[in-house]
A and B are shown apart, each in its own frame.
Chain A
């Protein structure tokens, strides 16, 4: 215990020295107070240890003990971006390399929508009013760290009654280097009354070196707004990825979020939807396919604060090797939130004897008239279904692929942007083949 605490302090003080350097470079810029509060919170919290309820199963300080350095911008050729771009998606695209905005890779931005690199709009009244309001730093060490060090990322503001036809694709790429790098992408998205937009966040790594991406995304969907969000995590094999996604929903607004976790050595996703307006609806779905010694945590929170809000949550995972997944889904129904209709499900297939899943639903219900259901399954591939397919002439490897694919399709099929769906479909096919090949090798 004492040993790990000492270690935490050591690493934290390392970051304190960074912020001194960082702050002097800020020179009285805005957000100074926010950053100072954040670093104070981080200094108090330290890196989480297994003593923290939310980090019980993994000791992140062991993973993060590496002395990560802030990453420098690196020019990237178009060809290097290609694997992460959806060929048929007519998107508004913003690219960040090693945490730095790369305007040379950005597409033209149409009129009627305000999209900018966050670092360029710190003094925008909406940024001043909302940045850090949803993603609080008091309890979340990594969010505190992000808030202290954030610089680039996207700021999106959609005016009332505007439908942004083209999806916005935000691509964060980290390149490999001998010195492990850290970056803190930060996004703030505000969809005004009755507006609509689609966002695709991609986090990817090039190379096999260790690095750390610590991202925070805040989304505000005002009354009657509709936000369709997809996140794809394709970090490199030694990449560490911690991401906090928080959305707030106004009256009769809708938010759908689809989270695909395929890469990274250690991934921690915190996803929360705060239904603050009556009749708002949140859909939060996720899929993970893991191999080797990958470790992925999905912590979700659906906060029902107002009446008549439905929420739908389905997370599915396929695990090979000695990989490990944790799912914790919390549904919190406030006393006021009558007629809540919340559904949560987590399903897992283990392809290997050494893979492990911990799944934990948590329902906290303070209202009387609610419909809440949840369920979880952990099992192997259905042997009877395999035999049935084989008995019809389908070779075992293909039969397995068909069953795994059908399991994944349940999530992929819910993605409404067709070019993203088809790209994901190919990516996941390749991924499943790779995982299965390692199991049968």
Chain B
């Protein structure tokens, strides 16, 4: 589904990603772990198409298409979704309008018929249950005044409505209490299927107790330095990142 080859990217001339290689197949969940500043979030933003980052080398092939040349909305129309680490507050735009506009933009891009307000309400009620959110959220401005947990659940609500094929979850667990973490993980698991894939970017192992990855990759200084199965995450939890830093430092000498 996704093939990242020798990806170099950065912001304002400073390279942050120094050659990422990653293959994600349908049905798989990949966890990307690493200490702060290792480039995990940059990778997530680059995949979603944030203008502030420029790709200087390498390629990202998604479903046989070059993702780098696409605008963020085109990527979304192709089924790429980023759950933001810091969801943006949009005063004056209520959540219901935002979600319906987004859904209809995707449907229009795919030559499908738009969903009217009544059908949308039926659809959204169902999705709200999944993330245990109250209907009153729909009337509030997008993310404005939401608690940390509400923002993250709202991200998963969007994922449920837009039904992406490739979901990138950027530190979705940060700032969550144990209940919210359970709700978010349950949402992601429910939405996962054999024809979909997810990349879960996280600093801690605890999310991976609830969302069980098929592969775990460790990022360090803009490179994936180690890959393994879910036991790698447990090892990191136990020993921290220092041993991997040391090992990597020795190797590169």
Interface residues of A (CB under 8 A from B): 382-385, 387-396, 398-399, 402-403, 405-407, 409-410
Bound Cα distance from A382 to B86, whole angstroms: 14
Instruction: Please indicate the chain B residues that have their CB under 8 angstroms from the CB of A389 in the complex.
Output: 90, 98, 102
The chain A residue with its CB closest to the CB of B82 is: A391
The digit string for B54-84, where 1 denotes a CB below 8 A from any CB of A, is: 0000000000000000011101110001101
Instruction: Give the complex CA separation of A405 and B94 in angstroms.
Output: 12
Report yes or no: B105 in contact with A388, Cβ–Cβ below 8 A.
Answer: no
Are A392 and B76 neighbours in the complex by a CB distance under 8 Å? yes
Q: Is B92's beta carbon under 8 Å from chain A?
A: yes
Contacts of B101 in A (CB 8 A): 394, 398, 402
Docked-complex contact A393 and B82, CB < 8 angstroms: no
Whether B105 pairs with A395 at a CB distance below 8 angstroms is yes
Of all A-B residue pairs in the complex, the 4 with the closest CB atoms, nearest first, are: A406-B92, A393-B76, A392-B102, A390-B72
Binds A, one of B5-13, B44-52, B131-139, B236-244: B44-52
27 A/B residue pairs, CB under 8 Å, sorted by A: A383-B51, A383-B52, A387-B72, A388-B84, A388-B88, A389-B90, A390-B72, A391-B49, A391-B84, A392-B73, A392-B76, A392-B98, A392-B105, A392-B158, A393-B73, A393-B77, A393-B106, A394-B73, A394-B102, A394-B105, A395-B71, A395-B105, A398-B101, A398-B105, A403-B90, A405-B92, A409-B92
Q: B50 contacts A387, CB within 8 Å?
A: yes
Q: How distant is the Cα of A384 from the Cα of B52 in the complex, in angstroms?
A: 10
Contacts of B109 in A (CB 8 A): 393
> Using Cβ atoms and an 8 Å threshold, which residues of chain B touch A390?
49, 71-73, 76
CA distance A389 to B105 in the complex (A): 10
B91 CB–A CB distance under 8 Å:
yes
Q: Is the CB of B87 within 8 A of A388?
A: yes
In the complex, the answer to whether A393 meets B48 with C-beta atoms within 8 Å is: no
Q: Of A385, A390, A403, A405, which is in contact with the most chain B CB atoms at under 10 Å from its CB?
A: A390
Q: Of B50, B71, B98, B158, which is within 8 A of A396 by CB?
A: B71
With a cutoff of 8 Å between Cβ atoms, the chain B residues found around residue A403 in the complex are 90, 93
Measured between beta carbons, the chain B residues less than 8 angstroms from A382 are 88, 90
**CA of A391 to CA of B168, assembled, Å:** 12
CA distance A70 to B158 in the complex (A): 61
B92 pairs with A392, CB closer than 8 A: no
With a cutoff of 8 Å between Cβ atoms, the chain B residues found around residue A396 in the complex are 71, 73
Q: Are A395 and B92 in contact (CB under 8 A)?
A: no
Q: Is the CB of B92 within 8 A of A410?
A: yes
Q: Which residue of A lies closest to B52 (CB)?
A: A383
Q: Is B162 an interface residue (CB 8 A)?
A: yes
What is the CB-to-nearest-CB distance from A63 to chain B, in angstroms, rounded to a whole number? 35
Taking the closest CB of chain B, its distance from the CB of A417, in whole angstroms, is 21
Contact A407/B92 with A388-B84, A396-B73 known, Cβ cut-off 8 Å? yes
A384 and B103 CA atoms in complex are apart in Å by: 20
Q: Decide if A391 touches B48 in the complex (CB within 8 Å).
A: yes
CB neighbours (8 Å) of A407 from chain B are 92
Verify A393–B102 contact, CB threshold 8 A. Answer: yes
Taking a contact as CB atoms under 8 Å apart, the answer to whether A385 and B88 are in contact is: yes
- Least Cβ distance of B157 to chain A in Å? 12
* Chain B contacts for A392, CB-based, 8 A: 73, 76, 98, 102, 105, 158, 162
**CB-nearest residue of chain B relative to A390?**
B72
How far, in Å, is B2 (CB) from chain A's closest CB?
Answer: 16
1/0 per position for B84-119, CB-CB distance to A under 8 A? 100111111100001001110110010000000000
Is the beta-carbon distance between A406 and B90 smaller than 8 angstroms? yes
Q: A391-B48, A393-B73 are in contact. List 17 more A-B contacts (CB 8 A).
A: A383-B52, A384-B88, A385-B89, A388-B90, A389-B98, A389-B102, A390-B49, A390-B71, A390-B72, A391-B49, A391-B76, A392-B102, A392-B162, A393-B102, A393-B109, A394-B105, A395-B73
B124-168, CB < 8 A from A? 158, 162
B88 to chain A, nearest CB (A): 4
Name the distance in Å between A327's Cβ and chain B's nearest Cβ: 20
Docked complex Cα distance between A403 and B72 (Å): 17
Are B105 and A391 in contact (CB-based, < 8 A)? no
Question: Measured between C-beta atoms, what is the minimum distance from B179 to chain A in Å?
Answer: 26
Contacts of B106 in A (CB 8 A): 393
- CB closest chain-A residue, reference B76: A393
* Least CB distance, A401 to chain B, in whole angstroms: 10
Known: A402-B93, A409-B92. A391 touches B72 (CB 8 A): yes
Chain A residues in 8 Å Cβ range of B75: 391
A181 and B164 CA atoms in complex are apart in Å by 61
The contact of A393 among B50, B90, B105, by CB within 8 Å, is: B105
